[in-house]
Structure 1
Amino acid sequence: MPKVQETTLEIDLRALTHNFNYLKSKLQPQTKFLAVVKAFAYGSDSIAVAKQLEALNVDYFAVAYAKEGVLLRDAGITVPILVLHPQPINFKTIIDWCLEPSIYSAKILDEFIQTAEASKQNKYPVHIKFNTGLNRLGFRPGSVDTIISKLESTSAIVVKSIFSHLAASEDLNESTFTSQQISDFKSIAKNFEAKVGYRPWLHLCNTSGVINYPEAHLDMVRCGIGLYGFGNAVKEDKVLIPIARLKSIISQIHKIEPQETVGYNRAYQANDYEMTATIPVGHADGITRQYGRGKGFVIINGKRAPIIGNVCMDMIMVNVTNIECREGDEVIIFDGTHRASDLAESANTISYEVITAVSQRVKRSFIS
């Protein structure tokens, strides 16, 4: 790849294909694959990612909000799309754009039935979410009878799937809790199926669930972070390939004298003669202030350059005293070798936050 000339997020669709095939290889042939492409496909580009996965015959997509699904439909995506956190104000939009809502409470169920009936729908597909321990969204296990009674009162909707979300599938120290979630969900599913009179699809596993709990793959799995190159475990990280590479350049190099300060609030003071480099990426681009004052770093000519002072809106300053470099040289914020998870660890956060924070103003380029 040619070196970048401005701050750029390179998105490697070959790596996406590799990750998809690797995760799919862990499934039984009949198990469906749902790709989570919310939050601009975890900070990359939801349209490009969705088109690549659609070409690979993915079975389903999931987004968080209706407008994310509309964006995909408007780009020509035809694969079914599950909206994980729909709001009643968007129910008509969901129906108009052939999206499928997660139904997670009695209020949401009642309001979606009303919208579907007003739109003269017949057996519009919905997905019922149960709370088995994450305590974020979902019906309690004891709600099955209430749900069934509401379903029996209308022909406007039909339950395409029931699902839940594992709370700690990446942490094998929590395997007892996870196994209980799996058992509880299977019990809910058995009860629901017996009372509804047909068998909806069942899905429970996220990326870590796919890797650690093959007995819970059921009818479909939902993979997000694994598609983008992170497996929540050292072993899996060696196989998966990060699809995104955030790069920039050195705009200017300064020679700083002893006791001089750098950046806002004079947050860094030089102890000796030092060299600093200014890079055009800042907290408006996703490199938040938590990475300042020596916590975060970038890679310049193969060496770590710590971020000094406070991160600015559009710029960071790094210490390059011991690095041979010049203005215009390429800077790696994260890539396949210097992973986003490494940068995240330096500020006590997680790779999810680093990659999804990349601003939409950052230029995207694609490798395919």
Structure 2
Amino acid sequence: MNMVEETVLEIDLHALEHNYNYIRTKIKESTHFLGVVKAFAYGSDSVAIAKKLEALGADYLAVAYTNEGVALRDAGIKLPILVLHPQRVRYTTLIERCLEPSLYSPTMLTSFLQTAKALNQTNYPIHLKFNTGLNRIGFSENEVDFIIAQLEGANQIKVTSIFSHLAASEDLNEREFTQSQIEAFERISTKLLGKLDHQPIRHLLNTSGIINYPHAQYDMVRSGIGLYGYGNEASEDEKLIPVATLKTIISQIHKIGPNQSVGYNRGFISNSSMVTATLPLGHADGIGRTYGNHKGHVWINGQLAPIIGNVCMDMIMIDITGIDCKEGDEVIVFGKNHSADKMAAYSQSISYEILTGVSQRIKRTYLGN
């Protein structure tokens, strides 16, 4: 274990490799693999993760917004990059940096085609997103004919992939709904493919979809949370390794008597004599106020210590009564032994929120770089 002297987010690229290889065992050798690196690669480091995925042989990357893709291009990433939620104001930049847009509505398709024409593009790669039940973004099934009409004679763009997104692939109680989405995607994509003069890639499955519905892997799968060590199911979590570990240290230890308060607004009042420790991170670093007052715990020297009082902007206080520790000792907020899933459960949240909420002001360190 690498001991730290300040708050850091430790990124284990060996763990990423393990997770990538494990997820690949769930799909056919011929199936393409898209790694999702949006939101700073789920709160870690999009450049480091993208470079590792590129070295491991991933076929595609995906980001949410154009500026995320630009950052990867600036770092020298050569893989194709799908922009899942491009904004029209960034179309020119997107094309200039060889990024590939997900187009999900008539307005998006017509406006991007106009930009491609203005920039004298030929066969610029686009991806068509269909709504099969998530009801977030996506073309509807009855818009296929409109799409075909727009594409006729439009050699400025070319459909590279057709895809959709499952709403509840991790919830086996929703198998019937998920299967209805798979059937809708099959119906829509088959109709569209029948009217194109080439065969775009089809992709539907996210991490939980890869695990629970491998029969619907089509030509490519997309993995986000699984790459970072979380399988949305306990048995799968055991086979994956968390990539990110948030570590900090004990800044100061206090001995307090009964009926003393800790933190802002006297959020905690002691019932008896106790020992507390202050840690140098707070809600500005992604540890929300919801984790105060015994809603959250940290891991120190093999024991759990509850967060007490209200979480401050830059500090949290914990109860270390009975724990053998000293100022400067390392504390694990979440990681391999105390997962983000467990941390999130304290406040009825999910690992995604914990991971992506880690502040960019926290130093990143790397294993296996």
Q: Distance in 1 between matches of 2:54 and 2:285?
A: 29
Within 5 A, what are the aligned runs for 1:60-79?
A: 60-79=60-79
Q: CA deviation at 1:258?
A: 1.0
1:111 aligns with 2:121: no
Q: CA deviation at 1:153?
A: 4.2
* 1:175 corresponding residue in structure 2: 175
* 1:295 corresponding residue in structure 2: 295
Q: CA deviation at 1:321?
A: 1.1
Secondary structure (helix, strand or coil) at the match of 1:54 reads helix
Q: Distance in 1 between matches of 2:201 and 2:10?
A: 36
Q: Map Cα deviations across residues 55-96 of structure 1 (whole Å, 9 max, x no partner).
A: 011100000000000000000000000000000000001000
- Relative to 1, partners in 2 of residues 1:258 and 1:73: Cα closer, same or farther, differing over 3 Å? same
* 2:34 corresponding residue in structure 1: 34
The residue type paired with residue 203 of structure 1 is H
Within 5 A, what are the aligned runs for 1:307-326?
A: 307-326=307-326
Q: Distance in 2 between matches of 1:107 and 1:293?
A: 48
Within 5 A, what are the aligned runs for 1:1-368?
A: 1-368=1-368
Q: Distance in 2 between matches of 1:295 and 1:254?
A: 21
Q: Map Cα deviations across residues 312-347 of structure 1 (whole Å, 9 max, x no partner).
A: 000000011121111111101011111111110011
Q: CA deviation at 1:300?
A: 1.1
Runs of 4 or more consecutive aligned structure 1 residues displaced over 3 Å after TM superposition: none
TM-score (norm 2): 0.99
Q: CA deviation at 1:30?
A: 1.0
Q: Distance in 1 between matches of 2:350 and 2:298?
A: 17
Secondary structure (helix, strand or coil) at the match of 1:58 reads coil
Q: Map Cα deviations across residues 232-271 of structure 1 (whole Å, 9 max, x no partner).
A: 0111000000001101000000111111101011100011
Q: Map Cα deviations across residues 202-255 of structure 1 (whole Å, 9 max, x no partner).
A: 000000000000111000000000000000011100000000110100000011
The residue type paired with residue 123 of structure 2 is K
Q: Distance in 2 between matches of 1:265 and 1:34?
A: 47
Q: Distance in 2 between matches of 1:332 and 1:338?
A: 7
Unaligned runs of 5+ in 2: none
Q: Distance in 2 between matches of 1:47 and 1:155?
A: 33
Secondary structure (helix, strand or coil) at the match of 1:76 reads coil
C-alpha RMSD over aligned residues: 0.7
Q: Distance in 2 between matches of 1:320 and 1:56?
A: 42
Secondary structure (helix, strand or coil) at the match of 2:284 reads coil
The residue type paired with residue 194 of structure 1 is G
Q: Distance in 2 between matches of 1:280 and 1:337?
A: 21
Q: Distance in 2 between matches of 1:189 and 1:80?
A: 22
Q: Distance in 2 between matches of 1:297 and 1:244?
A: 17
Q: CA deviation at 1:199?
A: 1.6
Identity, % of aligned pairs?
Answer: 60
The residue type paired with residue 306 of structure 1 is P
Q: Distance in 2 between matches of 1:56 and 1:253?
A: 45
Q: Distance in 1 between matches of 2:316 and 2:153?
A: 59
Q: Distance in 2 between matches of 1:62 and 1:2?
A: 31
Q: CA deviation at 1:194?
A: 1.0
Secondary structure (helix, strand or coil) at the match of 1:17 reads helix
The residue type paired with residue 111 of structure 2 is E
Q: Distance in 2 between matches of 1:16 and 1:50?
A: 11
Q: Map Cα deviations across residues 3-27 of structure 1 (whole Å, 9 max, x no partner).
A: 1000011100000000000001111
Secondary structure (helix, strand or coil) at the match of 2:194 reads helix
The residue type paired with residue 89 of structure 2 is I
- Kindly tell me the number of residue pairs found equivalent between the two proteins: 368
Q: Distance in 1 between matches of 2:253 and 2:328?
A: 10
Q: Map Cα deviations across residues 253-303 of structure 1 (whole Å, 9 max, x no partner).
A: 011111110101110001111111000010011101110111001011111
Q: Map Cα deviations across residues 146-180 of structure 1 (whole Å, 9 max, x no partner).
A: 01101114211010000000000000000000011
Unaligned runs of 5+ in 1: none
Secondary structure (helix, strand or coil) at the match of 2:42 reads helix
The residue type paired with residue 263 of structure 1 is G
TM-score (norm 1): 0.99
Q: Map Cα deviations across residues 98-137 of structure 1 (whole Å, 9 max, x no partner).
A: 0000000000111100110000000100000000000001
